[in-house]
Amino acid sequence: MACDICGQAGARIRRVSRTYGKGQDLLVIENIPMISCPHCGESYLTAETLHQIEKIKRERKQRSIERPVAVASYS
């Protein structure tokens, strides 16, 4: 796969988790496909992935399950 930033071949898809919101409105989305390039070091999400994330956020009540999660503060 070619990197959209530098154009070199070798970019790979990694699966990541991201958090959106905070407190009672916190939403964790797992297994998000992120493109990562070993040549230029950039990581980015495609437009299609960003649209899907927005859809998941809009439909959070129907698509999510509640799980307890440990939270630590960096201080």
Residue span of the structural domain in which 29 resides: 12-63
Query: The domain spanning residue 52 has which CATH number?
Result: 3.10.20
Residue 15 banded pLDDT, cuts 50, 70, 90: very high
The pTM of this model reads 0.85
Residue 1 included in any domain:
no
What does the CA dihedral 6, 8, 14, 18 come to, rounded to 10 degrees? 10
Number of domains in the chain: 1
Residue 69 included in any domain:
no
Name residue 35's beta-bridge partners.
13, 44
- Give the closest residue to 54 by CA, choosing from 23, 29, 22: 29
Residue 5 included in any domain:
no
Residue 71 included in any domain:
no
User: 46-75 pLDDT, tens per residue?
Assistant: 999 999 999 999 999 999 999 998 889 898
Residue 16 included in any domain:
yes
Residue 19 included in any domain:
yes
Q: Judge contact between 70 and 49, C-beta under 8 A.
A: no
Residue 44 included in any domain:
yes
